[in-house]
Amino acid sequence: MATAAIPLASTAFSVLGKVQEGKSARKQGESVNAQQRENARRKRQEGKRQAEEIERQTARMMSDTEAIQAGSGFSGSDGAAARQIARQGGVGKYNELAALYETDQQAIDMERQGAAAKAQGRAQQRGAYMGAAATALGGIASFNKDGGFSQFKNKNPGKILESTPSWSRAVPFTRSFAATPRGSSIMRRPI
């Protein structure tokens, strides 16, 4: 009996190990996903700070250009001076939007990596559960093949009628409805 318990215990521990392995893989995937989402949020904040700094530098450069033009004798209504300031503003806005776009794309990549890690963790969990089921079935089949379940079999079952109590064989019963089809009670009566 003790030798029969060893393969079953081994199978049970193996199954539990695989289930724990699956749970661990899923939790690791969820952890990586959460970290990547946090990294993406920080990357977007970094992009906003970069864009604000570019906007500040552009405004200062435009102000400096306007001051230099005024000191050189150009008027604010001069077309060339206005175009130069507008060009600087356009380049600054482009750089601002480019910084936002670049950091947003990096954040999207991080979120995708996190989602992929989460999906991989779930897939590994399902695989571990399938492996646990296969291990359990293999262990049971091996135990049965070695005659492990034979100790539970009735060696001499005898005839079924001999093993049933005499009072249950006295009168055979059949099922029939006692009332009309609308009736709800089922009654047994002798044949």
Question: pLDDT per residue over 30-64, tens digit each?
Answer: 999 999 999 999 999 999 999 999 999 999 998 88
Q: According to the model, what pLDDT value does residue 33 have?
A: 94
Q: pLDDT tens digit string along 109-139?
A: 999 999 999 999 999 999 998 988 888 888 8
Between CA 23 and CA 39 the distance in angstroms is 24
Which secondary-structure segment (H or E) carries 36? helix 2-72
pLDDT at 164 over 80: no
CA–CA separation, 107 vs 150, rounded Å?
A: 62
- Highest mean pLDDT out of 102-106, 128-132, 145-149, 185-189: 102-106
Residue 13 has pLDDT above 80, yes or no: yes
* pTM for this model (two decimals): 0.61
Concatenating the DSSP letter of every residue in 100-166 gives HHHHHHHHHHHHHHHHHHHHHHHHHHHHHHHHHHHHHHHHHHHHHHTTGGGGGS-S----HHHHS-H
32 and 123 in contact (C-beta within 8 Å)?
Answer: no
Sign of CA dihedral 95, 97, 102, 107: positive
Using alpha carbons only, give the angle 82, 83, 89 rounded to the nearest 5 degrees. Answer: 90
CB-CB contact of 169 with 34 (8 Å): no
> Domain-by-domain residue ranges, the chain?
2-154
